[in-house]
Amino acid sequence: MKSKIWLIIKREYFTRVRNRTFILSTILLPLFILLFVFGTAYLTSKSQGEKQKIAVNDQSGLFKSSFRDKANIEYDFTTEVNENNFAQKGYTAFLFIPENYSSSGDSIKLVSAKQINIATQDDVKDGIDEAIRNKVFLENHIDKKLLDSINKVKPEQLYRFSAVVNKGNKTEHSNPLLSYGIGFGSGFLIYFVLIIYGASVMRGVMEEKTNRIAEVIISSVRPFQLMAGKIIGIAAVGLTQLFMWFILVIILLAAGTFFLSHGLAANTDSLQAALASQQGSSLPSEFLSAKSTFLSANWLLIIPCFIFYFLAGYLFYASLFAAAGSIVNEDPQDAQALTIPITMPIILSFVLMTAVISNPDSTLAVWGSIIPFSSPIVMMARIPSGNVLPWELILSIVLLVGGFTFTTYIAAKIYRTGILLYGKKVTLKEIGKWLFRKS
Amino acid sequence: MPLLELRNLKKYYSGHKAVDDISFEVSGENIYGLLGPNGAGKTTLLRMITGIILPDEGDILFQGKPFDPMNQIMKIGYMPEERGLYKKMKIGEQALYLSMLRGMTKKEAVKQIKYWFEKFEMQSWWNKKVDDLSKGMGQKLQFVITVLHQPRLLILDEPFSGLDPVNSNLIKQEIFNLSKQGTTIIFSTHRMEQVEEICNKIILVNRGKKILDGDLTKIKEDFKENIFKIGFSSTPDYFEPQSFDIIEKKDLESFIRINKGYHPSDVLREYLDHGASIHLFNEILPSLNEIFIKQVNEIQSIPAFSEPN
C-alpha cells in the first residue's frame, strides 16, 4: 500500500519538475523581481539625471542664499524670465516669489511646462521654508553668524543611535525594517504558494477526472491515496522550487556583496544615488550593514516556522482545492465558481497581513495569526518581529494542524464521490450528504 | 467454483436504484455479454466488481472468497467505457506507472509492456505522448494497459466504441485469444450485434435488475418462434396450409411460422405436394435485440436505445 502512494507521489513530482514551465519559472521569477527592483531604480535615476533648470524671479530679495544648486537642480535668479517664456529660454520651471507673499494674499508660484518631479518640488519648498525660517530668526534678533553656524549643524553626526529590545535577561537589536522585510517576504511567498500550487492541485484532479483516468487508478488504489499522493507530490515540487530560490538568493546576495565592496560601485554612481535617495542613505554601507543585520534576525525560529506554515497552510488549502477539482464537470466556469470560495480567504489573509505587518501586536494581528484560515500568512508576518508570545505560537500551530486534518477529512469525503461522478451538476445539498455519510 | 459470484447486489443513489438485487456468476473460458440500455446499471455493476465502489448490500465472491479489491485487483483487468490516460505523459512511462500501481514489479511490467507493444506494433510509441496519438491508437494502448498484467478476469466496457474496423478486428482477435488462454471476460455493451458476434453467454439488465442470463444459443432456442425462411426455385400452386402460417410472402421467398404440433418436415411435404421446388429452408432465430425488447416490454416499457455521446 505504502509503495503505491509512493508511486503516485513520484509521478506527480517528476512530471512537474521535469516540465519546462517549472524550470523557467524557478529561474526567471527571481530574475524578474531583481530586474524590476533595479529597473525602477535605474529609471528613477535616469529621470533625476536630467538637469532641472529653474528660473527664479525673487521680488522680495530674501531667498537667494537659501536656494543652493544640487547635482541636478540649478537655480538661476533673473528678472528677464516670466511664466510665458521660461521654456523658450531653456528652463524647466519658473519660480515667482512676489514681494508681499503671505498665507492669505499673494502666493509663491512654481510654473512648469510639464509635471515637475517630486524631488525637485521638494527641494524648492525646502528652500522656501529655510528662507522664511531665517527671516523669522533675524526678525527676532538672532545673530546672522550664529544662524549660519546653526544651519550648518548636522544632528546625525553628533550622536549614535541604537534601538534594543529588552527581554529581561537579554537585549536584542531592534530592526523593524528587517522584520518588516522578512515578514512581508515570507507572507507573500506563502500566499503565492497557496494560490499557485493550490490551483495546480485542482488542475491535476480535474485532469484525472475529465480524462477518466481516475476510474482506472481508483480500481488499484484508494481515492484517498490518489488525493494524498497528488497533494504530497505537489508539496515536494513547492519545496524544491523554494529551495532553488533560496540558493539563487544566496548566490545573488554573494554577488551583490562582491559587487559593492570592490569599488566597482564607482561605475554606477547614478544608480547608487537613485537607490540611496529612495532609502535615505548611501547604498554600499547600507547594504553591508543590512547584510550583517540580516544575519542578526532570529533565523533559528523563522526558518522552521516558515517551513511549518508553508506546508501546513498548503495542506489546509490544497485538500480543499482537490475537493473542488473533483466536483467540477468539464465546464471551466464551474471551476471558476468553485475556486472563488477557496481563494477568497487566501486573498483576505494577504490583505490582512499587509494591514497588520507594521503593527504586529494589534488584536487583529494576534487573532489573524491564530485562526487557521489566515494564520499561515499572518503569523509569518509577525514572527520576525520577535513579539509572538509562546502561547500564541503553540495555539496557532495546534489549530492549524487540527485545521488541515479537518479540511483533509472533509475533502477526502467529497473527493471520493466527486471524482467518479460524471455529467451531473453537484448541488450543495448533495455534498452535504456525502460529508455525513458513513464510509 | 465460479471465478466471480455476485449475490443479491444492491446499490442505491439518493433514492434511485442503480443496481437492484442482481445475482449471477461467471467462470471458465467464457465471454459474457453484459447487456442493457444506457442507464441500466451496467457501469455501477462493473464498478462494484472492480472495487471502485462498494455495494450497499450483497456480497461479491472472487475465487470463492469475499472480494478484496486492493489485493485482488491484480487478477482483474478493467477497461472503463470513458477511458482515460494522462495526455502529457510518455506512453512507456504511463504503461509502466499504471502496471506498477496495480502491483506489478518494475521488471515484470517492462517485460510485459515490451511483449505487448511488439505484438501490437507499438514499439516506436514508447517516448510519444498520448496527445500525439489518434483516438484509435489511444484505444489500442488502453487495451494493452488493461491486459498486460495477465488478469484472470477481464472486464471491458464498450471496448469497440470509436475503433476503426482494422483495430476493432485486432482487439476482437485478442479477446478470443485471451479467452482461449483461460481468461474469463465480461464485455459490457448496449450494441447487441457485437454480443452475438463475440459472446457465448449473456446477462441482460434493465433498470437495475437482471432480466435474463445464460447461454446465448440456449436463450435463442428458448425464444425462438418457429419461424423459417423458404427460398423457391419455382413457386407452388395456391393452397391453404395446414401445418404453418405465412407471415410474409415475396416472389421467390416466404417467411412462415410452424403451427403447434407440426414439424418442419410437415411444412416441406405440404409445399412439395403442391408442386414447389425448394432450394433453401432455414430457421430464423430471434436476434438478441428482439429477445431483449420482448423481455423488457413484458416488464415495462424501455427507454430508447441510444448511442453513447
CB contact under 8 A, B52 and A211: no
**B181 and B230 both lie in a single domain:** no
**B56 and B195 both lie in a single domain:** yes
B141 burial via Cβ count (<10 Å: 0-12, 13-18, 19+): buried
d(CA A122, CA A67) in angstroms, rounded, equals 12
Q: Is residue B305 part of a domain?
A: no
Please identify among residues 203-262 of chain B the ones whose CB lies closer than 8 Å to any CB of chain A. none
d(CA B274, CA B236) in angstroms, rounded, equals 5
Range scoring the smallest mean pLDDT among A257-261, A289-293, A299-303, B20-24: A289-293
Q: Is residue B308 part of a domain?
A: no
The stretch A297-314 carries a mean pLDDT of 88
The Cα of A27 is separated from the nearest Cα of chain B by a number of Å equal to: 23
Q: How many residues can be counted in chain B?
A: 309
Q: Contact B46/B39 with Cβ under 8 angstroms?
A: no
For A348, residues 6+ apart whose C-beta sits below 8 A from its C-beta are A374
Residue A48 in this model has a pLDDT that exceeds 70: no
- pTM for the whole structure: 0.75
Is B302 or A67 the better-scoring residue by pLDDT?
A: A67
The bridge status of strand B184-189 relative to strand B31-35 is: parallel
d(CA A108, CA A127) in angstroms, rounded, equals 12
pLDDT computed for residue A293 by the predictor: 63
Q: Contact A92/A52 with Cβ under 8 angstroms?
A: yes
Per-residue pLDDT tens digits for B194-239 = 888 889 999 988 888 888 888 888 888 888 888 899 998 888 888 8
CB contact under 8 A, B82 and A422: yes
Residue A170 CB neighbours (<10 A):
8
**B212 and B232 both lie in a single domain:** no
Is A51 or A46 the better-scoring residue by pLDDT?
A: A51
CB contact under 8 A, A215 and B84: yes
Question: Please, what is the average pLDDT of chain A?
Answer: 82
Per-residue burial over B254-284, b = 16 or more CB atoms within 10 Å of its CB, e = otherwise = bbbebeeebeeebbbebbeeeebeeeeeeee
Chain A, chain B: beta-carbon pairs less than 8 Å apart: 63
Per-residue burial over A38-56, b = 16 or more CB atoms within 10 Å of its CB, e = otherwise = eeebbebbeebeeebbbbb
CA distance between the termini of chain A:
19
The torsion angle over the Cα atoms of residues A186, A191, A196 and A197, rounded to 10 degrees, is 80
Q: Of B195, B216, B237, which marks where a domain is finished?
A: B216
Range scoring the smallest mean pLDDT among A51-65, A161-175, A275-289, B58-72: A275-289
Q: Contact A98/A108 with Cβ under 8 angstroms?
A: yes
Question: Can you tell me which residue has the cell 506507472?
Answer: B97
For A355, residues 6+ apart whose C-beta sits below 8 A from its C-beta are A364
Q: Contact A408/A425 with Cβ under 8 angstroms?
A: no
**B192 and B278 both lie in a single domain:** no
**B235 and B115 both lie in a single domain:** no
**Angle, CA A125 vertex, CA A124 and CA A126 arms, to 5°:** 90
Q: Which residue of chain A has the CA closest to B94? A: A11
**B211 and B230 both lie in a single domain:** no
* Contacts B70 to A, Cβ<8 Å: 1, 221-222
**B105 and B199 both lie in a single domain:** yes
The stretch B253-266 carries a mean pLDDT of 88
The Cα of B294 is separated from the nearest Cα of chain A by a number of Å equal to: 31
For A103, residues 6+ apart whose C-beta sits below 8 A from its C-beta are none
Q: Is residue B21 part of a domain?
A: yes
Identity at B49, one-letter amino acid code: I
Range of the domain at B277: 225-284
Q: Of B196, B216, B236, which marks where a domain is finished?
A: B216
Residue B309 in this model has a pLDDT that exceeds 60: no
| 3-class state of residue A337 by DSSP | helix
d(CA B288, CA A276) in angstroms, rounded, equals 88
A232's enclosing H/E stretch is helix A223-261
Question: Can you tell me which residue has the cell 441500466?
Answer: B40
Residue A50 in this model has a pLDDT that exceeds 60: yes
Q: Is residue B92 part of a domain?
A: yes
Among the partner-chain residues A7, A213, A220, the one whose CB lies closest to the CB of B85 is A213
CB contact under 8 A, A221 and B101: yes
A428's enclosing H/E stretch is helix A428-436
**B85 and B207 both lie in a single domain:** yes
- A291 band by pLDDT with thresholds 50, 70 and 90: low
- Percent of chain A surpassing pLDDT 90: 21
- Across the beta sheet with B16-26, the strand order is B16-26, B4-13, B57-62, B65-66
CA-closest candidate to residue A251, choices A39, A27, A38, A32: A27
Q: Of B193, B216, B239, which marks where a domain is finished?
A: B216
pLDDT computed for residue B306 by the predictor: 44
pLDDT computed for residue A435 by the predictor: 78
Q: Contact B195/B189 with Cβ under 8 angstroms?
A: yes
Q: Contact A308/A397 with Cβ under 8 angstroms?
A: yes
- A2 band by pLDDT with thresholds 50, 70 and 90: low
Domains of chain A: 2-33+175-436 (no CATH), 47-157 (3.40.190.10)
The stretch B29-56 carries a mean pLDDT of 86
d(CA A122, CA B41) in angstroms, rounded, equals 80
CB contact under 8 A, A220 and B14: no
Q: Contact B209/B6 with Cβ under 8 angstroms?
A: no
d(CA B62, CA B59) in angstroms, rounded, equals 10
- A84 band by pLDDT with thresholds 50, 70 and 90: confident
The bridge status of strand B209-215 relative to strand B201-206 is: antiparallel
Backbone φ and ψ for B32, nearest 5 degrees, come out as -95, 135
Per-residue pLDDT tens digits for A21-35 = 888 888 888 788 778
* Contacts B51 to A, Cβ<8 Å: 219
Q: Contact B231/B278 with Cβ under 8 angstroms?
A: yes
The bridge status of strand B201-206 relative to strand B184-189 is: unpaired
Overall domain count for chain B: 2
Q: Contact B41/B18 with Cβ under 8 angstroms?
A: yes
The answer to whether B86 faces chain A, any CB pair under 8 Å, is yes
The bridge status of strand B153-157 relative to strand B76-79 is: parallel
The Cα of A221 is separated from the nearest Cα of chain B by a number of Å equal to: 7
Question: Can you tell me which residue has the cell 448511442?
Answer: B307
* Contacts B87 to A, Cβ<8 Å: 207, 211
A288 burial via Cβ count (<10 Å: 0-12, 13-18, 19+): middle
Greatest mean pLDDT among A84-93, A163-172, B100-109, B230-239: B100-109
Among the partner-chain residues B69, B73, B84, the one whose CB lies closest to the CB of A213 is B84
CB contact under 8 A, A208 and B84: yes
Residue A282 in this model has a pLDDT that exceeds 60: no
**B187 and B239 both lie in a single domain:** no
d(CA A364, CA A386) in angstroms, rounded, equals 17
CA distance between the termini of chain B:
39
Q: Is residue B69 part of a domain?
A: yes
**B60 and B120 both lie in a single domain:** yes
pLDDT computed for residue A393 by the predictor: 92
A208 burial via Cβ count (<10 Å: 0-12, 13-18, 19+): buried
Per-residue pLDDT tens digits for A90-129 = 888 898 888 888 888 788 888 888 888 788 888 888 888 8
The stretch A375-395 carries a mean pLDDT of 88
pLDDT computed for residue A45 by the predictor: 65
Q: Is residue B307 part of a domain?
A: no
Among the partner-chain residues B82, B89, B101, the one whose CB lies closest to the CB of A220 is B101
**B99 and B17 both lie in a single domain:** yes
Mutate to test the interface with B, among A13, A220, A421 (most CBs of B within 10 A): A220
Greatest mean pLDDT among A308-312, A352-356, A432-436: A308-312
Q: How many helices (H) and strands (E) does chain A have?
A: 15, 6
Residue B279 in this model has a pLDDT that exceeds 50: yes
Question: Can you tell me which residue has the cell 438485487?
Answer: B21
d(CA B294, CA B285) in angstroms, rounded, equals 14
Three-class DSSP labels, chain B: CCCEEEEEEEEEECCEEEEEEEEEEECCCCEEEEECCCCCCHHHHHHHHCCCCCCCEEEEEECCEECCHHHHHHHEEEECCCCCCCCCCEHHHHHHHHHHHHCCCHHHHHHHHHHHHHHCCCHHHCCCEHHHCCHHHHHHHHHHHHHCCCCCEEEEECCCCCCCHHHHHHHHHHHHHHHHCCCEEEEEECCHHHHHHHCCEEEEEECCEEEEEEEHHHHHHHHCCCEEEEEEEECCCCCCCCCEEEEEECCCEEEEEECCCCCHHHHHHHHHHCCCEEEEEEEECCCHHHHHHHHHHHHCCCCCCCCCC
The answer to whether B72 faces chain A, any CB pair under 8 Å, is no
Q: Is residue B295 part of a domain?
A: no
* Contacts A212 to B, Cβ<8 Å: 80, 82-84
Residue B247 in this model has a pLDDT that exceeds 60: yes
In CATH, what number is assigned to the domain containing residue B113? 3.40.50.300
pLDDT computed for residue A170 by the predictor: 66
Residue B98 in this model has a pLDDT that exceeds 60: yes
| 3-class state of residue A211 by DSSP | coil
Identity at B125, one-letter amino acid code: W
The Cα of B261 is separated from the nearest Cα of chain A by a number of Å equal to: 54
Angstrom CA distances, B196 to A311, B26, B178, stand at 57, 18, 18
* Contacts B95 to A, Cβ<8 Å: none
Q: Contact A432/A327 with Cβ under 8 angstroms?
A: no
The Cα of A220 is separated from the nearest Cα of chain B by a number of Å equal to: 5
- A149 band by pLDDT with thresholds 50, 70 and 90: confident
ipTM surpassing 0.90, yes or no? Answer: no
d(CA A266, CA A41) in angstroms, rounded, equals 16
Residue A156 in this model has a pLDDT that exceeds 50: yes
**B208 and B236 both lie in a single domain:** no
d(CA B299, CA A336) in angstroms, rounded, equals 45
Q: Is residue B292 part of a domain?
A: no
CB contact under 8 A, A420 and B89: no
d(CA B50, CA B73) in angstroms, rounded, equals 7
pLDDT computed for residue A12 by the predictor: 92
Per-residue pLDDT tens digits for A214-250 = 888 887 888 899 999 999 999 999 999 989 988 887 8
* Contacts A7 to B, Cβ<8 Å: 97, 100-101
